[in-house]
Amino acid sequence: MAKILIVDDEIGIRELLSEILRDEGHDVALAEDAAAARAARNASCPDMVLLDIWMPDTDGITLLKEWSAAGQLTMPVVMMSGHGTIDTAVEATRIGAIDYLEKPIALQKLLSAVKRGLQRKPSVPVPTTLTLTAFPDSASLRELHRRLRQAASQSRIILIRAEPGHLAELAARSLKAPEAPWLDLTLLDGAYDPARLATYQGGQFYLSALERLTRPQQKNLAAIIERLERHDLHLLVASGSGREELLAAGWDSALVGHLFSCALTDAPTLANLRSELPEIACRILRHLVDVREVPPRRFSPAALSQLHKRDWRGGYGELYATIRNLALASPEEEISLPENGLPVQDSPSHPVSLDQPLREAREAFERMYFEHHLRMERGNITRLAQKTGLERTHLYRKLRQLGLHGGRHHEEN
C-alpha cells in the first residue's frame, strides 16, 4: 500500500481518483490547491503525487519547480491537465515529473501511470545534506547564497566571521557541487601529504574554527592553499578571530593575508533569523524524514515556540543536532514539549552536586561536558577531539570510561 497525494482544485476529480486508488488498496490524501499540497507533502511524505497543472493559487508547474529547487522532489510526480500542450508536458518532464495524463483520465491509464510511478525512483535524488537553496522563503539566506556565489566566482577562498549562531557549514555546503568531494580540514592532524589533494579534484573544503589550528595545522593549511587552483579546489573558512588577533597570536602574515582576501564579515546568524526559525526548523525536520534519518515527525506549536525562543549560540550545527535528537526521542508523530522542554543553554539539566567526593563530581562533570559536545558535533569524534584538545585514541578511551559512545562518522562526509 502506497501513500498517494492527489492535488486538484476540482472536487469531483479528487473524489473520483481517490475512490479508484483506495479501491486499489492505497492510502490517499487530498489537496485542493498548492498551499494544501505543500502542507500535505510536508506532513505525510507521500510515495507519489498526482498533480493538476491548472489551479487557482499556484499552478502545478510552479509548484513542481518549487519542490525541485528546495530538494523536495523526493517522490514520483504525475502531472494532470484537461487542456495541456506538448510544450507543457515536456517542461514538466524536464523539471522532474515522470508522466503526464490528459483529462478525462481513463481508468487503465491512471492505474498504469501509478504502477509505473511507484516502481521508479524519484527523478531528483534526495540531497544528503541541506544547502541554502532549501530555504527559498528566507530573503536573508537567498541574499547570502547570492553573495557566496559571487565571491566564489572571484576567489577560491572565502572567510566568514564565526559569530555566535553562525551558518558557516551550511554556507560551505551550498557552494559544493552535488557530486563534488567534501573535506572538513579540521580533521587534518600532523603531517599532511599534498599529493592527497588530487583525490579531491574539484571539491569543496571547509574549516570550522580557524583560530584553533595548531602550528603544524597552519603549515598544512598554507600548503593546501598553494595548491587550490592546481586541483580546482575551493575553501570556506569560519573564524572567530579577526586578522589582527591572528597576527598577534603569531600566525604567518602571508597566510593570514590569503585567508582574509575575501571575507564576509556581516553574514547573517540564527539570531538575525529568529522570526524565520520555525520554518527553518520545519525544513530541517522534513529533510531528516526524507533521508530516513528519523521516522515521520512534525512539531507541535509548543515545540516550535521553544525552538524560536532559544538563542542557538552553537549555530546551525546545534540547531540541526537538536532537531534530530528531538525527532528520534519523540514516541509520537507530533513532537511535543512542555514549556521547559529544551534545556537552558550553558545550564546543565542535571547539575553536578558539590556534596560528593571530588572523583565522582569530576566524572559527572566530564560526562555532562562530553555529552554536550557530542551533540554539538553530531557525534563526529574527530571534530570533538579538535574542540576538546584531546588525541583521538585518548578521547575514545575517555568516552568508553564514561559510558558514552560517539558515532564514528565518516571523517570526510
> What's 49's domain CATH number?
3.40.50.2300
Instruction: Determine contact, residues 128/291, Cβ cutoff 8 Å.
Output: yes
How far, in Å, CA of 234 to CA of 153, rounded?
Answer: 10
The answer to whether the bond into 104 is cis (omega within 30° of 0) is yes
150 domain-assigned: yes
Instruction: Determine contact, residues 67/73, Cβ cutoff 8 Å.
Output: yes
**Residue-wise over 347-385: b if at least 16 C-beta within 10 A, else e?**
eeeeeeeeeeeeeeeebbebbbebbbebbbbbbbbbbbb
Q: Give the tens place of pLDDT for each residue, 9-43.
A: 999 999 999 999 999 999 999 999 999 998 888 77
Residue 124: band (very low, low, confident or very high) from pLDDT cuts 50, 70, 90: low
Whether residues 139 and 178 share a domain: the answer is yes
Q: Give the tens place of pLDDT for each residue, 128-173.
A: 788 998 888 899 999 999 999 999 999 999 999 888 889 999 999 9
76 domain-assigned: yes
Whether residues 171 and 70 share a domain: the answer is no
331 domain-assigned: yes
380 domain-assigned: yes
How far, in Å, CA of 297 to CA of 353, rounded?
Answer: 36
Instruction: Determine contact, residues 63/99, Cβ cutoff 8 Å.
Output: no
The pLDDT of residue 344 is: 47
Whether residues 145 and 259 share a domain: the answer is yes
Domain count along the chain: 3
Listed residues 241, 264, 287: the one ending a domain: 264
- Determine the structural domain holding residue 359 and report its residue range: 277-401
Whether residues 61 and 157 share a domain: the answer is no
Whether residues 157 and 33 share a domain: the answer is no
Residue 189: band (very low, low, confident or very high) from pLDDT cuts 50, 70, 90: low
Q: Is the pLDDT of residue 188 over 70?
A: no
Listed residues 93, 119, 145: the one ending a domain: 119
125 domain-assigned: no
| Closest to 316 (Cα-Cα) out of 127, 147, 173, 154 | 173
407 domain-assigned: no
Q: Give the tens place of pLDDT for each residue, 88-108.
A: 888 888 888 999 999 999 999
As given in the structure block, the three cell numbers for residue 74 are 523526493
158 domain-assigned: yes
The pLDDT of residue 157 is: 97
Whether residues 204 and 307 share a domain: the answer is no
pTM of the model: 0.65
308 domain-assigned: yes
The CATH number of the domain holding residue 255 is 3.40.50.300
Q: Give the rounded distance of the alpha carbon of 21 from its chain centre.
A: 34
Q: Give the tens place of pLDDT for each residue, 206-262.
A: 998 898 888 888 988 998 999 999 999 999 999 989 999 999 999 999 999 999 999
Q: Give the rounded distance of the alpha carbon of 353 from its chain centre.
A: 38
Listed residues 98, 119, 140: the one ending a domain: 119
Whether residues 142 and 260 share a domain: the answer is yes
